[in-house]
Amino acid sequence: MFVDEAKIFVKAGDGGDGAVSFHREKYVAAGGPDGGDGGKGGDIVFQVDDNLSTLVDFRYKRKFSAQKGENGRAGNCYGKSAEDLVIKVPRGTVVRDADTARVIADMSDSEPVVIAHGGKGGKGNAHFATPTRQIPRFAKPGFKGESFNLSLELKLLADVGLVGFPNVGKSTLVSVVSAAKPKIANYHFTTLTPVLGVVKIDEGKSFVMADIPGLIEGASEGVGLGHEFLRHVERCRLIVHVVDVSGVEGRNPVEDFEIINRELSNFSEELSKAPQIVAANKCDMATPEQIAEFKEYIEKLGLEFYEISAATTQGTKELVNAVWEKLSGLPPIKKFEAQPMARIDADALDNSRAFEVTTEEGIYFVEAEWLWDIMRTIDMDDYESLQYFQRVLRNSGIIDKLEQMGINEGDTVSIFGFEFDYVR
């Protein structure tokens, strides 16, 4: 099954929590805090795999999560960083943020790309020891890993794209000029998926040709099969427009040519300006007058015209040589420029945290997702830990917000079920 679109969710690993620990050794007095830092969470990495040709695997698995970093340990031992989660995709896959449509990566090269970064590990209590705070009973939690809803879109990497109405001979042409073996039959939409073929000119000279399934009028608006595969023409350096010049199916070759070009233009203005060569197929079934009339029309447009019969291979060698010559003067296959998301440094997050404060029956409820991780590392029975917790509330603006809302001394504040009385 050929699948060229998929939507998935990826979540990089969270950082490990810092440890709260104190050095204990016989005959060593006041060993001090020795809680180590947490390890880094695993990244989400995309890697090209040339053994893959579709995105079908992502139809069955849509959620990918990297491992969390290991928590810090006693003896100033750092937690182990988690391994990266490598996701393999076919070459030519464009990765977008599904929420903003921004291009994150174009997987056209063999270099792996980090799509989501794992969170940094939290600091152990050894970092918080000072001359006046020698027994810190708190540590920092690990930072959250990045997460994205992604849209994957496979855009085939081909030098040449064959376009044209169904049953004009595109599949036959690619089968006689390359080793590709597409299904060939005398009915419309025989080809249901794009077919790639490598056309060899000479030793060290070759190019990739893509047989794009038949387009029809309205394809750019979702009619027929063509709208599903127009994206695969986008990267092509050159378009070979195959037209049935014989008119054996009762269609006019000039009208066919104009309709297909209109669909290309409606889909992408850039695509409509791509270099194009016209291959008038089934010349063995056409009259000289039909060929001459169509040739005159094409040459008036300033396009190169070639008479071929894919079924008998007549003119195919000349067409292939012309395509090679044309490609030699064209830029490389189009690559979509990545637009990386703005990334916030984990250390800066401490001073910029979203929260919401509501009141109900005289109780002030504080909602802040980030605060849960900090509360997990606080010892509520330890005075210094509570002092640290109070500083977090003050620095984040929560205390100021409570005071703006008119909280009075002795009023109850609730944070994730932990309730305490407000004291100025």
Query: Mean pLDDT for the chain?
Result: 83
239-263 average pLDDT score: 88
Rounded to 10 degrees, the C-alpha dihedral 50/51/52/57 comes to -140
Look at residue 216 in the predicted model and tell me its pLDDT.
54
Tell me how far CA of residue 65 lies from CA of 62, 289, 333, in angstroms.
10, 64, 33
Residue 81 has pLDDT above 90, yes or no: yes
State mean pLDDT over 69-86. Answer: 93
Q: Which two tokens stand for residue 207?
A: 């190019």
Closest by CA to 148, choosing from 108, 82, 103, 88, is 103
Residue 349 has pLDDT above 90, yes or no: no
Q: d(Cα 1, Cα 91) in Å, to the nearest integer?
A: 17
Map out the domains of the chain with their CATH numbers.
1-155 (2.70.210.12), 160-327 (3.40.50.300), 353-421 (3.30.300.350)
For residues 339 and 357, what is the distance between their CA atoms, to the nearest angstrom? 36
Which has the higher per-residue pLDDT, 113 or 1?
Answer: 113
- What is the rounded CA–CA span in Å between residue 310 and residue 103? 39
In this predicted structure, the answer to whether residue 339 has a pLDDT above a threshold of 80 is no
> Is the separation of the CB atoms in 315 and 242 below 8 Å?
no
pLDDT for 214 equals 58
Question: pLDDT: is 341 or 237 the higher one?
Answer: 237
Helix (H) or strand (E) holding 200: strand 195-202
Vertex 109, ends 106 and 113: CA angle to 5°?
Answer: 60
pLDDT of residue 217: 54
Q: Is 16 exposed, middle or buried (0-12, 13-18, 19+ CB in 10 A)?
A: buried
For 36-48, the pLDDT digits (tens) are: 999 999 999 999 9
